[in-house]
């Protein structure tokens, strides 16, 4: 028997807020990027789904329901809720003489009356990568391979956590600096702040493929 409460490390009378907080903590620990395994990661996903409205009949009465009874063909990414992403185009930083390391960078962007294509906010659903979310909302962020083998889709992570399940191009030092790939980066936090279109930064210069599809496009 595998109880969803045990998987998330919470009491069987935990409220929805406690379940959500526990899930956010556990899914980070279980993620393969963090030393976990695919099996553990999926188990945490199933536990969360079992205790949310989508699976409210499973485990809510504290009976220690067995997670092996959960439909394993269901979408393993369901249930986390959308992530709020605040984004900024690196070209704006260059054009205005700002610094990507400026602690007030997004405050300056908010005050600059920029068009949505350059600065704004979007929601990323649990089953979307960051790049997919931008595309699904009418933007055309740069990319090329979509397989984690180039830096065309790279973003600079200012705040929040973005998983990187496939990365064969960024060095550990570049990852530590805050660079991530948007093509297969999935949010692990409720909110993100990212600078996109950073592929022309000197430290990423040798990691680009020939120009991929990139145009400035306004959202719907």
With residue 49 as reference, give the H or E element that holds it.
helix 38-50
Of residues 143 and 125, which shows the higher confidence score?
143
Structural fold of domain 4-69: Helix Hairpins (1.10.287)
Which residue is it, tokens 């908010």?
A: 110
Q: What was the pLDDT predicted at 58?
A: 38
Query: By percentage, how much of the chain surpasses pLDDT 70?
Result: 76
**What is the tens place of the pLDDT at every residue in 18-35?**
888 888 788 777 766 567
Q: Give me Rg for the CA atoms of the chain.
A: 19
Instruction: Give the CATH number of domain 83-207.
Output: 3.10.20.30
pLDDT in tens, 107-124: 999 999 999 999 999 999
Do strands 119-124 and 83-89 pair parallel, antiparallel, or not at all (unpaired)? antiparallel
Contacts of 180 (CB under 8 A, 6+ apart): 154, 155, 156, 157, 162, 164, 170, 194
pLDDT tens-digit map of 40-90: 776 787 787 778 744 444 343 444 445 544 443 334 443 456 889 999 999
Given CA atoms 128, 143, 163, 177 in this order, what sign does their dihedral have?
Answer: negative
Q: Alpha-carbon distance 157 to 180, whole Å?
A: 7
Please report, for the chain, the start and end positions of each structural domain, with discontinuous segments joined by +.
4-69, 83-207
Nearest Cα to 51, choosing from 43, 59, 63?
Answer: 59
Range in 61-65, 133-137, 209-213 the model is least confident about: 61-65
Task: Tally Cβ neighbours within 10 Å of residue 168.
Answer: 10
Domains 4-69 and 83-207 share a fold: no
């Amino acid at each position: 028997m595998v109880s969803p409460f045990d998987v998330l490390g919470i009491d069987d009378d935990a409220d929805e807020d406690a379940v959500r907080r526990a899930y956010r903590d556990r899914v980070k620990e279980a993620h393969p990027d963090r030393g976990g395994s695919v099996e553990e990661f999926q188990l945490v996903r199933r536990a969360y789904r079992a205790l949310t409205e989508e699976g409210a009949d499973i485990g809510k009465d504290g009976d220690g329901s067995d997670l092996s009874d959960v439909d394993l063909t269901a979408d393993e990414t369901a249930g986390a809720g959308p992530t709020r992403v605040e984004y900024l185009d690196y070209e704006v930083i260059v054009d205005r003489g700002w610094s990507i390391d400026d602690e007030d960078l997004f405050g300056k962007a908010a005050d600059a009356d920029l068009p949505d294509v350059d600065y704004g906010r979007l929601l990323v659903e649990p089953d979307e990568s960051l790049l997919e979310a931008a595309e699904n909302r009418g933007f055309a962020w740069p990319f090329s391979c979509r397989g984690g083998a180039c830096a065309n889709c790279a973003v600079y992570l200012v705040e929040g956590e973005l998983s990187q399940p496939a990365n064969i191009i960024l060095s550990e030092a570049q990852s530590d600096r805050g660079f991530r790939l948007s093509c297969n980066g999935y949010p692990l936090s409720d909110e993100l702040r990212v600078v996109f279109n950073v592929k022309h930064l000197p430290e990423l210069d040798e990691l680009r493929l020939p120009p991929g599809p990139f145009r400035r496009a306004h959202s719907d």
